[in-house]
Amino acid sequence: MTDKIDLHTHSTASDGTFAPSELARYAKKEGLAAAAITDHDTVDGVAEFMAECDKIGLEGVAGVEISAQHDKTMHIVGLYIDHENTRLNEKLAQLRGGREERNRKMLALLRENGMDITKDDIISQKDGATMANTGRAHIAAALVKKGYAETISGAFEKYLKRGRSCYVKRFTYSPEESIDMIHAAGGIAVLAHPILISDDYAALRPVISELKAVGLDGMECYYNNYTPEFRGVCFDLCAEFGLLPSGGSDFHGANKPDVKIGTVSTGFVPYSVLEGIKKRVGR
């Protein structure tokens, strides 16, 4: 068994380009000992992913990545969730309703800005795509395909990121509600990529303190773009607030071509990280 794991990956259930079973097989092929599926605002890929993991002998972790209300980007990953939990599923359905509304508004804005882009351009990108299970990554890919941007990240820079002409806010729950729905489903709640909130200890500390007060269990100390210094900041905050270190690549397949499964900026996430998490969840 290798020592390498990845606790943050996406499938076609959200904005990754590998189907859940392909994701499991790819993780195995790349030599991972364990992997979590953590799609945005949906658990629709979990059953297929876990079944494939069982079949091929990969340790699978059922997960989700929930977008929470914040000025910056706040994503909370749930690990070891019961993906059939009613409360979790009801809340995730609300989030997807917000995606549907926002996708329509963003399409209208892009068209107002002179771009010929339709709903079909979005939902032709994966099997089973709807306006509720797609997002900005799919809009970006459509813009690239139609020649309005050179790369997916270029499309974000030009039109889609917060503050740009075609950005629209969508419905999200508060951090507390987001953490609660993960706990209701038996999972642990991990702050994803805190670097998107701030790379500075002094600025991050109060945010972590507030999240801890409403039940946060862990934070990602390993990610695809951390400096060694920022990784140190994360470990310090984990120690200070009694949080579990977690992490992963945030693999999205071709939607994030520079990100490799199982690979983080400092190398890889060791299996000992999962041991800490499993102890907490009693597995």
Contact code string over 10-29 relative to ligand AMP, x by CB under 6 A: -----x--------------
Q: Which is nearer to Zn ion, 23 or 117 (CB)?
A: 23
Cα–Cα distance for residue pair 182/80, rounded to 1 Å: 9
Cβ proximity of 20 and 13 under 8 Å: yes
What's the min distance (Å) between Cβ of 97 and ligand AMP?
Answer: 14
Cα–Cα distance for residue pair 217/19, rounded to 1 Å: 29
Instruction: Determine how many CB atoms are found less than 10 A away from the CB of residue 200.
Output: 11
Cα–Cα distance for residue pair 6/270, rounded to 1 Å: 9
Contact code string over 135-164 relative to ligand AMP, x by CB under 6 A: xxx--------------xx--x--------
Token pair, residue 211, equals 């999240």
Q: Which does 4 bind (CB under 5 to 8 A by kind): Zn ion, ligand AMP, Fe ion, none?
A: none
Burial 81-119 (b: 16+ CB within 10 A, else e): bbbebeebbebbeebbebbeebbeebbebbeeeebebee
Q: Which does 16 bind (CB under 5 to 8 A by kind): Fe ion, Zn ion, ligand AMP, none?
A: none
Quickly tell me which residue has 């351009």 as its tokens: 121
Q: Which of 250, 253, 255, 268 binds Zn ion (CB under 5 A)?
A: 250
What's the min distance (Å) between Cβ of 75 and Fe ion?
Answer: 4
Contact code string over 64-103 relative to Zn ion, x by CB under 5 A: -x--------------------------------------
Q: Which does 247 bind (CB under 5 to 8 A by kind): Fe ion, ligand AMP, Zn ion, none?
A: none
Q: Which of residues 167-206 bind Fe ion (CB under 5 A)?
A: 192
C-alpha distances (whole Å) from 266 to each of 62, 227, 228 are 25, 8, 7
Contact code string over 50-69 relative to ligand AMP, x by CB under 6 A: -----------------x--
- Torsions phi, psi of 267, nearest 5? 125, -105
Token pair, residue 190, equals 């991990």
Residues contributing to the site for Zn ion (CB under 5 A): 65, 250
Residues contributing to the site for Fe ion (CB under 5 A): 15, 75, 192
Residues contributing to the site for ligand AMP (CB under 6 A): 15, 40, 67, 135-137, 152-153, 156, 252, 256
